[in-house]
A = this chain, B = another copy of it.
């Protein structure tokens, strides 16, 4: 199977089904022909601003059409999109741009101020428009070429750029279609961030499937419930905080046309799944990560009860195994799995072995082959769908002059599922407010610990490794009713 002449995706889609609806945002609609046209205008702008094939470009923008046109325009040029979480601080963004050797930073009008504070890089506003599109798009698309980069942290606390190739996105979209099916009247509601793989992958599916996307700038449970009730959207990707919000506000049921509530982004309280069952909501629980270019394991609704708590079975071209007898690290493989981290030889050597990606998560498989995720990788905290790495927060905390050492763990939170709590040993007196302000300067606000707990010493194992699960246990003991 060689993709020697794989056509330019968006051009091919606009050629195959020009008049199908591609995008709906607020009261506006774009067909694939129109989307292509807007994309060429944006590509023309970017190209005139000096962006060329092979350039890495930061994208700092809200979930609005111009972000989609920009992402597509970069693909037309053959430049790589480095998707930036818009909640990151300027320092964090600068670090990622530097790490990716990005040539340009593309920002929309909503992020003008933040972009202006980012130094040492050429910035281009994507809210400007050119009237004529003189840009000549590429004819071909190479499956091994890098399409997008998304940063994810790890145990060391330094974010790593996950490489996603065109081939990864193609494999992910087709594998998802083999699992969820594909209807000509599908419309996928996108209220998850486009800078996350959950949102970005919807865009790729839209082009490859010829499918409508209904884009939301912000999550709005009432408006979304309405669309799902009148059957205007047939699929939606959510994290559990969204789902909970939607279900609590739902009176009646969703339309029979609504066929898939794709639920990802971490653990799900069983009570929500029960509520969904009562309301006949077709929930597909999934397990996936930036490194797998979206879902890699999915639980079909018919198993929701029998296999409660499981995230399901792998997508068709993928495989899952456990590194260990019964419980152990979850290893995954498949054509949607990243070829590696950008310029991280050491991490790549340890994470990719014999074609298997070591997720760092702990799980087990039952006798029928259903996967249960027991513990998230590297003490990962998933808070409202955002990944937070304790090590990253710890390294910020110990840079504060009053702090001797620090340990961070996730603690249960009604609204966000989990939030970070920091335990610290201090040299000098310091207040929680001072520490929160200090963290807020250096990190996105969702990463700032919700709690700061002063302690005499941190739990460490024999090899002096911080035992974050002990911190979590300590917290539970202290906060048990």
Q: Which residues of A contact B (CB under 8 A)?
A: 1-7, 12-13, 15-16, 143-144, 165-168, 170-171, 174, 177-178, 181-184, 208-210, 313-314, 316-319, 333-336, 339, 355-356, 369
Contacts and interface: CB of A to CB of B under 8 A. Distances in A.
Given A7-B317, A15-B313, A167-B1, A178 B174 contact: yes
Contacts of A183: 181, 183
Contacts of A170: 1, 317
A333 B3 CA distance: 8
A108 B5 CA distance: 41
Nearest to A209: B178
Nearest to A339: B2
Given A6-B317, A313-B16, A317-B6, A182 B171 contact: no
Contact of A184 (B3, B167, B181, B335): B181
A163 to B, nearest CB: 12
A1 B143 contact: yes
Contacts of A316: 7, 12-13, 16, 208
A336 B6 CA distance: 11
Contacts of A165: 1
Nearest to A167: B1
A314 B355 CA distance: 33
A333 B5 contact: yes
A476 to B, nearest CB: 37
Task: Please tell me how many copies of the chain the complex holds.
Answer: 2
A178 B182 contact: yes
A317 B13 CA distance: 10
Contact of A1 (B16, B171, B314, B318): B171
Contacts of A314: 16
Contact of A182 (B4, B6, B144, B182): B182
Nearest to A13: B316
Contacts of A208: 178, 316
Most buried by B among A5, A13, A165, A167: A5
A299 to B, nearest CB: 12
A356 B1 contact: no
A184 B181 CA distance: 6
Given A174-B174, A177-B177, A182-B177, A335 B15 contact: no
A324 to B, nearest CB: 18
Contact of A178 (B15, B166, B168, B177): B177
Contacts of A174: 174, 177-178
A210 B5 CA distance: 29
Contacts of A16: 313-314, 316
Contacts of A334: 3, 5
Contacts of A178: 174, 177, 182, 208-210
A183 B184 CA distance: 10
A339 B336 CA distance: 24
A144 B313 contact: no
Contacts of A171: 1
13 contacts: A1-B166, A1-B170, A2-B167, A3-B317, A3-B334, A3-B335, A4-B333, A4-B355, A5-B319, A7-B317, A12-B316, A174-B177, A178-B182
Given A1-B335, A174-B174, 18 more contacts: A1-B165, A1-B166, A1-B336, A2-B335, A2-B339, A3-B335, A4-B333, A5-B334, A7-B317, A7-B319, A12-B316, A16-B313, A174-B178, A177-B177, A177-B178, A178-B209, A181-B183, A182-B182
A7 B315 CA distance: 10
Nearest to A173: B178
Contacts of A7: 316-319
Contacts of A369: 15
A356 B5 contact: yes
Contacts of A313: 15-16
A410 B318 CA distance: 48
Contacts of A318: 7
Contacts of A12: 316
A3 B319 CA distance: 10
A141 to B, nearest CB: 9
Nearest to A369: B15
Listed from nearest, the 6 A-B pairs whose CB atoms lie closest are A1-B167, A4-B355, A5-B333, A174-B174, A1-B335, A182-B182
A209 B179 CA distance: 8
A316 B165 CA distance: 18
